[in-house]
Chains A and B, each alone.
Chain A
Amino acid sequence: MLGEPLTPLDSARDKPMIAIHDLVKQYGAFTAVDGISLDVKPGEIHGFLGPNGAGKTTTLRMIAGLLKPTSGRVEVNGHDVATEPELAKASLGFIPDRPFIYEKLTAGEFLRFHAGLYGMDGNGLVAGRVHEMLDLFELRRWEDELVESFSHGMKQRLVMCAAFLHRPQAVAVDEPMVGLDPRGARLIKDVFRRMSGHGVAILMSTHTLEVAQEMCHRISIILKGKIIAQGTVDDVRRMAGGGDDHLTSVFLKLTGGSALQEIDEVV
């Protein structure tokens, strides 16, 4: 069902699938992430919003095990990423903002390799799952084409195929809509909704506030490495004292976007 409405979250008592405790990341004297805590429960789509350079990507990279936190803890499916990295990563699907794909592999080869990395075995089983994902993301007819010939949007969809291939219980995704055409964006939204419906926890960083408003059960707004607002979209609206304001206005109020008023003077 394309465009089906968001299912209300009914798993408030569940153990969080992604849990971040007092996470800090410092680059020399610069603090990119400053003691943030959040959790994403099974079936929840959690929007992670913030202006450029606020610390969203750094946080997601720490969740994925690509960056070592200066302090604090990240757990995925109850496993500490620092002490049980394999178990934590086995439960997670990560979609980075700048994904790496072997350019000289075909889409099918890339996905089969990816399946092997996650311990998926059995030729028939893997092939079936690969085809399922390629069909879902409308890439089946490109299965035997080299990745280097793919457009940005196709690569983005291929990375999503890879991230969902091993049926992760949690997904961390950085800017999923960038470079996708409206049809692709709609497809991704639908996939996320369905996964959420099946109990998958999704932490999604995005700049597209309409997407956050439309899809997320809860949102966290991060600014200069600190979470300044957290809750449902309505909660955050109330925090900003915005009544029925659109999320964009709320976001700009909270993150100091008033500088936009100066645009007229500059232009």
Chain B
Amino acid sequence: MRRAFPYLLLPHLWSSRNRARRREPGDLVRAALFGGVGLVVFAALFWGAFWLTWQLSDYDELGDYLLRLGLSWLFLTFLAFLTFSGIVTALSTFFLSEDLRLLLTAPVAARRLFYARFARTVAQSSWMVVVFLAPALMGVGVARCAPASFYLSAVMAIVPFAVIPVAIGTACTLLLVNVFPARRARDLLMLMGLLFAGSIVILLRVIRPEQLLGAESLPDVTGFFSTLQSPVTPLLPSFWAGELLFASLKGSWDVVHAGALWTTALAFSVALRAADERWHFSGYSRSQEAPKARFTRFRSLDVIAGMLPLSAVRRQLLVKDLKIFLRDVSQWSQLLLLLALVLIYLYNFRVLDLQRIPYMSGFIKNIYAFVNLGMAGFVMATVAVRFVFPAVSAEGAAFWIIRTSPISLRDFLWSKFWTGLVPILVLTESLTIAANELLGVDPFLKIVSACAIVFLSFALVGLATGLGARYPRFTAENPSQVAGSYGGVAFMIVAVMLIIVMIVLIGWPSTTYLIYQLRRMPLGPVREGMMAVSFLVAAVISVATWLIGMRSGVRALDAMSN
């Protein structure tokens, strides 16, 4: 008897059950952490949607209009996200997944395999959207005292709404993989992701949301929303989902749009299945071909490394890390994306008319330098958890080479530290100096911020390197998995706490200095002493975090051979 396609999903369910039964150390802490963060986000989304809908109900018809537009806009955003997510997920589930090597040698009908893979692709691509939409729609429903049918409509809308863009994304992947080898297609997708994110950023700049900061009148807000409408909008599933929900919010059933959603989802699934049966195997077969390596004749890296005052061991480790980084598009494309976001952040300071915004003028804008410092610290922590924390784990199955080489693990870890420190320091220091320059903060604060970034860089990179060695995941498939592990989350928590402590320790003496300067009053020796102690404590905490983090990492590596 041939079993239905859900049978092919069983190993994943059994695996999850087994994982839950056989807990590993730290699993409970991790579950509590993620669960806690999830609950806070859920509550925030619910409350935000509730508050906004509640406020809009004061404006009668205009409020209804805005709510309707808002729902449509919300779904439109997710439509783009789901399509892109579908492309990326389908590449993995349909072509690169390891278990395909087992399933494709079994007498499994192409149709069954397609349905199982597509179900997995839809689930993996859309769970985040569902998690976001559930509290948001609940908030809207509760604020409008919606009937129970609203929640049923929400389910009826979300399921086909998720299927349609994921089917489109999967079809794009099928096409891409048949044109390029899958591993090269993955590189292309990463670049497409960059373009996608870049275009969203440019779109945001074009519609200039900062106009809303003027908050002269509500009609401006409706004008702003109307720029998001176009003649094609009613043809999109996002519009149908928005209309269906809005109608059910009012207690009626929008059969036309519900029908449009379901029939389109069904038609897309059937068409995709036909295309998959025709082209999947040829695409999978192409995906077995290895891509041509990049930078194989990239000698300048060796030449530059040769000029650095490093020992042969450290030089080779550096060159190896850099080459691996450069050959993996999924690595550096994320860094480029972050860089683009940072540039937009800085660009905002240029385009914003700071004098028009009450909080950004006069003395208060100096305070903003600390927000900036926090932002730079957060960028630093994010880059560190994504690129520095997984550095030891990235050695993966090849770590035996390091462990059996005549080099000390201390040397190895410090090499990882310096490789991470230099780019992070340059990035965040440039960000801070440029932002403070554009804001026009006090010269004293500029110097304090610049010095704080140096200390913070050493502390966070040292901590990330050390914790990365303490909690390595050598079997992880990619660095993102390592960053999302228990150690990665622990690093982010400690990093955020450290940033807050640093801002407090630096903020108090800095603002004291500025206030006394504004009032043209002398500081006095006691106050000066207290300020110096505060700065000193910040410096000591940074250096201690750096050194203790590294020492703990070296010890953990040494302990591996015990």
Contacts and interface: CB of A to CB of B under 8 A. Distances in A.
B281 A113 contact: no
Contacts of B210: none
A9 to B, nearest CB: 26
A65 B288 CA distance: 12
Interface string B269-306: 00000000000011011001100000000000000000
Please classify how large the interface on chain B is, using the bins under 10, 10 to 19, 20 to 34, 35 or more.
20 to 34
Interface in B384-434: none
The dominant DSSP class at the B interface is helix
B11 A105 contact: yes
B101 interface: yes
Interface string B1-36: 111000110110011101100100000000000000
A11 B284 CA distance: 37
Nearest to B289: A27
Nearest to A70: B285
A66 B288 contact: yes
B153 to A, nearest CB: 37
Contacts of B110: 85
Given A105-B15, A113-B10, A65 B105 contact: yes
A210 interface: no
B6 to A, nearest CB: 11
A65 to B, nearest CB: 6
Interface stretch (A88-96, A188-196, A223-231): A88-96
B11 A67 contact: no
A100 B11 contact: no
B58 interface: no
Contact of A104 (B2, B15, B109): B15
A180 to B, nearest CB: 20
A106 B288 contact: no
A87 B107 contact: yes
Interface in A173-212: none
Given A96-B101, A104-B18, A118 B106 contact: yes
A68 B107 contact: no
A65 B109 CA distance: 12
Given A68-B281, A119-B1, A105 B106 contact: no
A214 interface: no
Contact of B288 (A67, A87, A116, A118): A67
Given A105-B18, A119-B1, A89 B106 contact: yes
B497 interface: no
B99 interface: yes
Contacts of A87: 107
B61 interface: no
Contact of B11 (A61, A86, A102, A121): A102
B107 A85 contact: yes
Contact of B104 (A65, A101, A113): A65
B25 to A, nearest CB: 15
A64 interface: yes
B341 interface: no
Nearest to B12: A102
Interface centre among B18, B281, B284 (most CB of A within 10 A): B18
Contacts of A118: 106-107
Contacts of A114: 106
Contacts of A66: 101, 104-105, 284-285, 288
A67 B102 contact: no
Nearest to A90: B107
A106 B15 CA distance: 9
A6 interface: no
Nearest to A110: B11
A146 B22 contact: yes
Nearest to A89: B107
Contacts of A94: 105
A106 B102 CA distance: 16
B216 interface: no
Interface in A82-141: 85-90, 92, 94, 96, 99-106, 109-110, 113-114, 116-119, 121
A116 B7 contact: yes
B108 interface: yes
Nearest to A30: B289
Interface in B305-347: none
Interface in B91-148: 98-99, 101-110
B481 to A, nearest CB: 14
A66 B283 CA distance: 11
Given A27-B289, A146-B18, A146-B22, A113 B98 contact: no
B103 A117 contact: yes
A190 B288 CA distance: 33
B7 A100 contact: no
Nearest to B15: A104
A28 interface: yes
Given A105-B11, A105-B18, A68 B285 contact: yes
A66 B105 CA distance: 7
B105 A67 contact: no
Contacts of B19: 104
A68 B281 CA distance: 7
A113 B7 CA distance: 8
Interface centre among B8, B15, B105 (most CB of A within 10 A): B105
A92 B105 CA distance: 9
A64 B7 CA distance: 22
A105 B10 CA distance: 10
Contacts of B98: 100
Contact of A100 (B3, B22, B102): B102
Interface of B: 1-3, 7-8, 10-11, 14-16, 18-19, 22, 98-99, 101-110, 281-282, 284-285, 288-289
10 contacts: A28-B289, A64-B104, A67-B288, A90-B107, A94-B105, A100-B98, A102-B15, A113-B14, A118-B107, A119-B107
- What 9 A-B pairs come out closest when comparing CB atoms? A104-B15, A68-B285, A117-B106, A90-B107, A89-B107, A86-B107, A64-B105, A94-B105, A100-B101
Given A86-B108, A117-B8, 15 more contacts: A65-B104, A66-B101, A66-B105, A66-B284, A67-B288, A89-B105, A89-B106, A99-B102, A100-B98, A102-B11, A104-B18, A113-B10, A118-B106, A121-B1, A146-B22
